[in-house]
Amino acid sequence: MSSNANFDVIPDLDVSILLSPVSGDLRVRGWESEALSIRSDRVAVNQKDGTNDFTVTGTGDVKLSLPARASLKVGPVAGDVRVTDIEGEILLNNVSGDLILRDVGPATLANISADLRARRISGDLTVDHVGSDATVREVAGDVSIKNVGADLFVGNVQGSCVVERVGSDLVLSMPFHPDHTYDFTVGADVVCRVVPDSNVRFLLPPDSTVNIKTKDAELTRDEAHKVVTFGAGTATVTIEAGGEIRFAHGAEEDEGEGLQFKFDFDFDFDFDERLAESLSSIETRLGQQLSNLDEQLSRTIARQTEKMQERAERLRQQAEKRAERLRKATERRDQKDRTRTWSASWSEPPTPPPPPSPPPPPPVSDEERMTVLRMLENGQINVDEAERLLAALEGRSK
> Which is higher by pLDDT, 153 or 215?
153
- What pLDDT does residue 257 have? 38
pLDDT at residue 386 greater than cutoff 60: yes
Q: What is the DSSP string of 100-121?
A: EEEEES-EEEEEESS-EEEEEE
pLDDT digits (tens, 9 = 90+) for 140-184: 999 999 999 999 999 999 999 999 999 999 999 989 999 999 999
The mean pLDDT of 309-315, rounded to a whole number, is 82
pLDDT digits (tens, 9 = 90+) for 11-21: 778 888 988 88
Residue 105 and residue 87 in contact, taking contact as beta carbons nearer than 8 Å: yes
- What pLDDT does residue 110 have? 95
Nearest to 134 by CA among 94, 92, 167: 167
Task: Give backbone dihedrals phi and psi of 186, rounded to 5 degrees, phi first.
Answer: -130, 135
Tell me the pLDDT band of 269, cut-offs 50, 70 and 90.
very low
Residue 70 and residue 37 in contact, taking contact as beta carbons nearer than 8 Å: no
The mean pLDDT of 279-290, rounded to a whole number, is 71
Residue 156 and residue 141 in contact, taking contact as beta carbons nearer than 8 Å: no
